[in-house]
Amino acid sequence: MLDEPTTGLDPVQRVGLRAIIKDLAQECVVLVSTHLVEDIDTSAARVLVLADGRVVHDGDALTLQEAVADGAHGTTALERGVWTILTRGGADHG
């Protein structure tokens, strides 16, 4: 279990750690808790998004990217998808 594993790392270190996590996940379950969605973009087979202590999304990163609503904020499709999921129903969680 890794909690915010790339916090404080420079970009090269972040890329390297993400590669290590992806390789490790081929052999065992790796649970990563993060607010940095780019850390799970290509490495996570399953993504859970939590809001107010409940699961509001359970799927893969591609499903989140496809969930983007018009006017969603973020610099990547994944960020915009997470923003859409978190603001769905009028509740703003971030």
- Give tens-digit pLDDT for 2-17: 999 999 999 999 999 9
With bands split at pLDDT 50, 70 and 90, how would you rate the model's confidence at 90? very low
For residue 3, give the 3-state DSSP assignment. Answer: strand
Residue 77 lies in a domain: no
Q: How many domains does the chain have?
A: 1
Residue 80 lies in a domain: no
| Domain span at 37 | 1-45
Q: What is the tens place of the pLDDT at every residue in 15-27? A: 999 999 999 999 9
Residue 84 lies in a domain: no
Least Cα distance to 85 among 60, 50, 38 occurs for: 50
Residue 24 lies in a domain: yes
pLDDT at site 69: 92
Residue 37 lies in a domain: yes
Residue 32 lies in a domain: yes
DSSP class per residue in 13-60: HHHHHHHHHHHHTTTS---EE-S-GGGTTTT-SSEEEEETTEEEEEE-
